[in-house]
């Protein structure tokens, strides 16, 4: 009965009331009206003002912007297994992640590594006891927008992700996020939060040009666009900063009750809860560490440590290389004990538990190992210092 | 309703390439239609919103495969229709026969087509209003939905009566649908509207000029 293309009828009726019907269209509409009484009734109902008002009111009740953001939040994760290439040329299979909500709270379904190693450390000996290897971390992070919606960045498309609140957000490539200030200024300051899981890392360029490298198990909260008196950033975990100069708007990094006031450029903040002190290392420029109104001015090459008791210590010749080794893709240990070493490994390899069997080794570990390796390769290097490891699923067992 | 073929094809290329802005355009173009359609089938605004969100997500998952705007529209309606049927079928499993009757009547093909026609139509009407400049749209909505008078609107929005009237005139000029324009007219004319509409309806060719002139002169 409906031989005609009903998908165009709505448009024809609109044109009718717009008084824009062409002759051909007018005929098409009349033909449809002549087909049945039902058709004519539908046509008449569309002129009824009370029905129109109720339909339009129904539309007014929907927050279309919020619904759009829900869609955006869901189109980032893709529900198929994909192979992603990390920036160092390793192949890691990343499983899909379904709509995570809370910072740091998401599940990984499964991972397996197909490795083509650059340097071959000893061939794996089955008798060695390291089975079910753990691949290295990669570019993974979750971005939480001002309205609370989250985007899983590792599986998001490259390109524009969002724009509102005075800036546009673009995923430039694997592992890189960039904010660009827009001409329309935001009416109020809105914050985004970038979080990395264990085994993750990410780079973000903020809308003022400042660059931040975020290490694993870390979280950075920052304004989408900088319109206030200062640039206030909140950090937990570890990040390396290269701050864009702006004398009029000072840059502050807040870690709980300690504020790093940035007076120029390149520094690293290490503030993991499970480490005994928060360490800020200055490579270039000038920085002041402020805790409860007491400030410590730093010069390049120095490191300030604030421990759990609140004591502030200034180290004048700090190990710059060690502080930023992670950003350069390496683990670097400098007479560190086994527990410190294992904590760093645990964050990068997303190890669930570290178990110590027997007497804990008193050995201090020094050296540089690439972060690109699988856990077993790194552990094999550490085994040269007379300690043994076993990997069982997500647990590493340390034995004398 | 873009009639420009060139605009359309460039737009479709961007959409197929995964351009989020193009996807947002599609969202703006069709959201109202799909939402009204879903709600007409299942009579639940909350559920309808969820179903519509899902339909757009499904659309995005297939974006390289869609070749034209009519394609996209058809896909959205189809995905939504199926989701609505699934929802109703689920309801049927858990509820009494009342829902069953509703469900059965909505399944007849003509009903679906009518709901699509209506949804398309109201979508366009809503877009015409949405496309008005911001304050003009606010004034229009206060008159259209709430029947407020000029001085009431002026007070409510904190603007002068003159400004309100300027917005009314602006609305008349910019709204393409005669049905929307008429709501800007004084009450006297409203009672004459059925006559005007049937005049338009019965004439072999629509004779817009006469009707509009008539309306404008009185106004």
Are A301 and A314 contacting, i.e. CB atoms less than 8 angstroms apart? no
Q: Which residue has the higher pLDDT, A369 or B38?
A: B38
Residues of chain A contacting residue B28, judged by C-beta atoms under 8 Å apart = 64
SS (H, E, C) chain B: CCCCHHHHHHHHHHHHCCCHHHHHHHHHHHHHHHHHHHHHHHCCHHHHHHHHHHHHHHHHHCHHHCCCHHHHHHHHHHHHHHHHHHHHHHHHHHCCHHHHHHHHHHHCHHHHHHHHHHHHHHHHHHHHHHCCCHHHHHHHHHHHHHCCCHHHHHHHHCCCHHHHHHHHHHHHHHCCCHHHHHHHCCHHHHCCHHHHHHHHHHCCCCCHHHHHHHHHHHC
Looking at the fold, whether B37 and B119 belong to one and the same domain comes out as: yes
Q: Per the CB < 8 Å rule, is B49 touching A56?
A: no
Whole-number Cα distances in Å, A146 to A149, A221, A362: 7, 10, 47
Position A83 scores a pLDDT of 38
Domain ranges of chain A: 6-61, 133-324, 330-399
Burial of A197 (0-12, 13-18, 19+ CB in 10 A): buried
User: End of a domain among B108, B128, B148?
Assistant: B128
Q: Which residue has the higher pLDDT, B45 or A79?
A: B45
CA A66 – CA A152 distance, rounded (Å): 18
Q: Which of B39, B116, B177 sits opposite A14 (nearest CB)?
A: B177
Q: Which of A56, A64, A75 sits opposite B31 (nearest CB)?
A: A64
pLDDT at position B100 over 70: no
Q: Per the CB < 8 Å rule, is B124 touching A20?
A: no
Q: Within its chain, how far is the Cα of A42 from the centroid?
A: 51
> Position of tokens 């909140």?
A234
Looking at the fold, whether B57 and B117 belong to one and the same domain comes out as: yes
Position B116 scores a pLDDT of 94
pTM for this predicted structure = 0.46
Which residues are bridge partners to A232 per DSSP? A252
Position A196 scores a pLDDT of 93
Looking at the fold, whether B101 and B22 belong to one and the same domain comes out as: yes
Closest of A301, A258, A262 to residue A281, by C-alpha: A301
> Position of tokens 């972060």?
A371
Residue A291 in tokens: 């805790």
Q: Was domain A133-324 assigned CATH 3.10.450.50?
A: no
Per-residue burial over A22-53, b if 16 or more Cβ lie within 10 Å, else e, is eeeebebbeebbeeeeebeebbeebbeeeebe
Position B196 scores a pLDDT of 55
Looking at the fold, whether B76 and B153 belong to one and the same domain comes out as: no
Q: Give the residues of chain A that fall short of pLDDT 70.
A: 1-4, 76-132, 184-186, 264
CA distance B51 to chain A (A): 11
Q: Per the CB < 8 Å rule, is B145 touching A53?
A: yes
Looking at the fold, whether B99 and B15 belong to one and the same domain comes out as: yes
pLDDT at position B63 over 60: yes
> Which residues 45-84 on chain B approach chain A with CB closer than 8 angstroms?
45, 49, 52-53, 56-57, 60-61, 70, 73-74
Looking at the fold, whether B11 and B95 belong to one and the same domain comes out as: yes
Those residues with Cβ within 8 angstroms of residue A193's Cβ, 6 or more apart along the chain or in another chain: A103, A143, A144, A219, A220, A221, A222
Position A291 scores a pLDDT of 86
Looking at the fold, whether B124 and B21 belong to one and the same domain comes out as: yes
Please state the rounded mean pLDDT for residues B163-181. 88
Q: Per the CB < 8 Å rule, is B121 touching A21?
A: no
Give chain B's radius of gyration (CA, Å): 21
Q: How many CA atoms lie within 13 A of A266 on its CB side?
A: 8
**How many structural domains comprise chain B?**
3
> Which residues 104-143 on chain B approach chain A with CB closer than 8 angstroms?
109-110, 113-114, 116-126, 129, 141
> Which residues 147-176 on chain A approach chain B with CB closer than 8 angstroms?
157, 159-161
Q: How many CA atoms lie within 13 A of A367 on its CB side?
A: 14
- DSSP secondary-structure letter at A174? T
Position B54 scores a pLDDT of 95
Angle among Cα A281, A287, A289 to the nearest 5 degrees reads 80
Position B109 scores a pLDDT of 65
Angle among Cα A156, A159, A161 to the nearest 5 degrees reads 65
Position A87 scores a pLDDT of 39
| Strand, helix or coil for residue A142 | strand
Looking at the fold, whether B9 and B91 belong to one and the same domain comes out as: yes
CA A400 – CA A8 distance, rounded (Å): 78
Q: How many CA atoms lie within 13 A of A197 on its CB side?
A: 23
Looking at the fold, whether B64 and B102 belong to one and the same domain comes out as: yes
Looking at the fold, whether B179 and B202 belong to one and the same domain comes out as: no
pLDDT at position B75 over 90: yes
Give chain A's radius of gyration (CA, Å): 29
| Residue A60 near chain B (CB below 8 Å) | yes
CA B5 – CA B11 distance, rounded (Å): 10
CA distance A87 to chain B (A): 23
Please state the ipTM of this predicted complex: 0.80
Q: Which residue has the higher pLDDT, B217 or A46?
A: A46
Domain, as residue range, for B148: 132-184
Position B25 scores a pLDDT of 92
Position A113 scores a pLDDT of 31
Position A85 scores a pLDDT of 39
pLDDT at position B76 over 80: yes
| Cβ atoms within 10 Å of A396's Cβ, excluding its own | 24
Q: Was domain A330-399 assigned CATH 3.55.50.30?
A: yes
Are B33 and A56 contacting, i.e. CB atoms less than 8 angstroms apart? no
Looking at the fold, whether B159 and B199 belong to one and the same domain comes out as: no
Position B194 scores a pLDDT of 56
Looking at the fold, whether B113 and B51 belong to one and the same domain comes out as: yes
Position A97 scores a pLDDT of 30
């Amino acid at each position: 009965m409906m031989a005609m293309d009903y998908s165009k009828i709505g448009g024809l009726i609109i044109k009718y009331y717009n008084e824009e019907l062409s002759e051909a269209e007018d005929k098409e509409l009349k033909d449809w009206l002549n087909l049945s009484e039902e058709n004519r009734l539908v046509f008449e109902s569309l002129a009824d003002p009370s029905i129109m008002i109720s339909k339009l009111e129904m539309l007014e009740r929907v927050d279309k912007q919020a619904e759009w953001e829900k869609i955006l939040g869901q189109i980032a994760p893709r529900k198929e297994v994909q192979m992603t290439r990390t920036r160092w040329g390793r192949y890691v299979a990343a499983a899909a992640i379904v709509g995570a909500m809370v910072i740091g709270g998401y599940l990984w379904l499964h991972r397996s590594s197909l490795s083509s190693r650059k340097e071959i450390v000893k061939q794996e000996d089955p008798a060695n006891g390291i089975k079910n290897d753990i691949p290295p971390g990669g570019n993974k992070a979750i971005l939480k927008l001002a309205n609370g919606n989250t985007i899983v960045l590792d599986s998001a498309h490259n390109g524009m992700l969002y724009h509102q609140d005075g800036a546009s957000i673009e995923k430039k490539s694997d592992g890189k996020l960039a904010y660009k200030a827009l001409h329309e200024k935001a009416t109020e300051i809105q914050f985004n939060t970038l979080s990395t899981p264990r085994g993750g890392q990410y780079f973000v360029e903020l809308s003022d040009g400042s660059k931040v490298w975020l290490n694993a198990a870390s979280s950075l909260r920052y304004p989408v666009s900088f319109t206030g008196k200062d640039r206030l950033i909140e950090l937990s975990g570890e990040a390396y900063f290269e701050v864009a100069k702006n004398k009029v708007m000072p840059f502050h990094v807040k870690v709980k009750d300690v504020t790093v006031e940035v007076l120029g450029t390149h520094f690293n903040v290490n503030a993991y809860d499970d480490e005994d002190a928060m360490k800020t290392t200055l490579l270039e420029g000038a920085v002041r560490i402020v805790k409860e109104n007491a400030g410590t001015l730093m010069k390049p090459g120095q490191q300030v440590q604030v421990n759990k008791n609140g004591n502030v210590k200034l180290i004048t010749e700090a190990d710059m290389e060690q502080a930023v080794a992670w950003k350069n893709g390496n683990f670097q240990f400098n007479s560190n004990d086994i527990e410190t070493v294992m904590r760093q490994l645990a964050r990068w390899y997303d190890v669930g538990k570290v178990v110590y069997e027997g007497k804990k080794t008193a050995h201090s570990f020094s050296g540089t190992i690439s972060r690109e390796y699988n856990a077993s390769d790194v552990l094999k290097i550490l085994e040269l210092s007379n300690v043994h490891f076993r990997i069982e699923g997500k647990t590493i067992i340390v034995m004398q | 309703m873009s009639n420009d073929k060139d605009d359309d094809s460039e737009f479709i290329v961007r959409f197929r390439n995964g351009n989020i802005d193009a996807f947002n355009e599609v969202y703006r173009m069709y959201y109202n239609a799909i939402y009204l359609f879903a709600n007409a089938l299942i009579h639940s605004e909350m559920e309808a919103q969820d179903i519509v969100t899902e339909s757009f997500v499904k659309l995005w998952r297939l974006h390289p495969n869609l070749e034209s705007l009519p394609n996209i529209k058809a896909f959205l309606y189809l995905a939504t229709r199926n989701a609505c049927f699934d929802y109703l079928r689920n309801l049927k499993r858990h509820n009494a026969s009342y829902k069953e009757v509703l469900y059965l009547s909505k399944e007849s093909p003509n009903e679906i087509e009518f709901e699509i026609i209506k949804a398309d139509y109201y979508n366009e009407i809503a877009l015409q209003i949405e496309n008005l400049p911001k304050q003009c749209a606010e004034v229009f909505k206060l008159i259209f939905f709430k029947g407020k008078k000029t001085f009431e609107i002026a007070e409510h929005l904190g603007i002068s009566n003159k400004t309100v009237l300027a917005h009314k005139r602006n609305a008349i000029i910019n709204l393409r649908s005669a049905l929307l324009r008429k709501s800007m007219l004084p009450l006297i004319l409203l009672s004459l509207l059925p006559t005007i509409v049937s005049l338009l309806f019965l004439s072999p060719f629509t004779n817009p000029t006469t009707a509009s002139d008539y309306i404008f002169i009185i106004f």
